[in-house]
Amino acid sequence: MRLIAHAKINWTLEITGTDGRGYHLLDMLTQSIDLGDTLTLTASDELTLSVSGNDAVPADERNLAFRAAAALRRYTGIRAGAAIRLHKSVPSGAGLGGGSADAAAVLAGLNQLWQTGLSQHDLESIGLQLGADVPFCLRGGLCRVQGIGERLTPYPAAPVWPLVLVKPCEGLSTAEIYHHYAADSAVTPAHDRVLKAALANDPRLLPRHPGNALERVSESFLPEIQQCREALLAAGAVCAQMSGSGSAVFGVFPDADSAARAAAILSGSWPWVTCCRTSASPYEFVSEEEPAL
């Protein structure tokens, strides 16, 4: 079977404290986007992973997709294997949750391929052990994500809006950004304003900068993030925001034509620019035919 594992954006990101284990407690509005990696899962005696599209992405137990398959086997006790082929389209170190999306798609796909019969709750419990974004990447759409990623409040009426994504050359390490984070009282994420705009399906109601508590830390490593945000607004975005811990920045546009025009302009200044849309689903099953890679 083949799946497209949808990446995500963070409309808002607030850090509300830490738990007894030192994990950061989060309050975020997160939404799936239709940019995604392609995973092909085939029944096999062994558990293997191959990766294309990004030579820097490992094809062993360091990869979340492989770890997800291994975690599912441990959880169920199943002894089946699978040949996992992963083609990367989502850039690494971007704050777009590509690795988490891959893990979620592997859990959902192998749950079907291996006929384990696990519930959504079971899969999200496994996913939480892999990373804070994995439960959301199993749920998808637009969600308020709280705690360490385990508390999900879905908003089914989420709109589909055109986006332009821009990423500077370098990626950023999520662990390093969180390590350097210090509470910034000046950042007050506009959760309610984003939800009002989403539920009214009116991007004009979006704040120009919804609020990401990690943005200043990430900009201290990569000042181009702020430049990306300003460039998107200058190109006609009604809203621009860094996603996750960066380094990708997204802009929301009134329509697909204005997004395409902005992307054409911005591609002359930045190495990675793409158009996509928000999505209501975390992944999609596609035909059995081989992808054109």
Instruction: Strands of the chain (E only): list them.
Output: 2-18, 24-44, 47-52, 81-87, 142-147, 151-154, 162-167, 239-242, 249-252, 272-279, 283-286
CATH 3.30.70.890 domain position(s) in the chain: 162-279
Q: Are 81 and 106 in contact (CB under 8 A)?
A: no
pLDDT tens for the 293 residues of the chain, in order:
999 999 999 999 999 998 888 788 999 999 999 999 999 999 999 999 999 999 999 999 999 999 999 999 999 999 999 999 999 999 999 999 999 999 999 999 999 999 999 999 999 999 999 999 999 999 999 999 999 999 999 998 889 999 999 998 788 888 899 888 887 656 789 999 999 999 999 999 999 999 999 999 999 999 999 999 999 999 999 999 999 999 999 999 999 999 999 999 999 999 999 999 999 999 999 965 444 44
Rounded to 5 degrees, what angle do the CA atoms 59, 61, 140 make?
Answer: 85
Considering 8, 27, 88, 102, which one is annotated as catalytic? Answer: 8
CATH of 162-279, one of 3.30.70.890, 3.50.30.30, 3.40.50.80, 3.30.1700.10: 3.30.70.890
Considering 27, 37, 133, 167, which one is annotated as catalytic? Answer: 133
Tell me, yes or no, if 196 is annotated catalytic.
Answer: no
CATH number of the domain located at residue range(s) 2-155 in this protein: 3.30.230.10
Instruction: Strands of 64-104 (E only): list them.
Output: 81-87
Residue 172: per-residue pLDDT: 86
Please tell me the distance from the alpha carbon of residue 147 to that of residue 49, in angstroms, as a whole number.
Answer: 31
- Helix (H) / strand (E) containing 203: none
pTM of the entire structure?
0.94
Tell me, yes or no, if 8 is annotated catalytic.
Answer: yes
Q: Are 177 and 218 in contact (CB under 8 A)?
A: yes
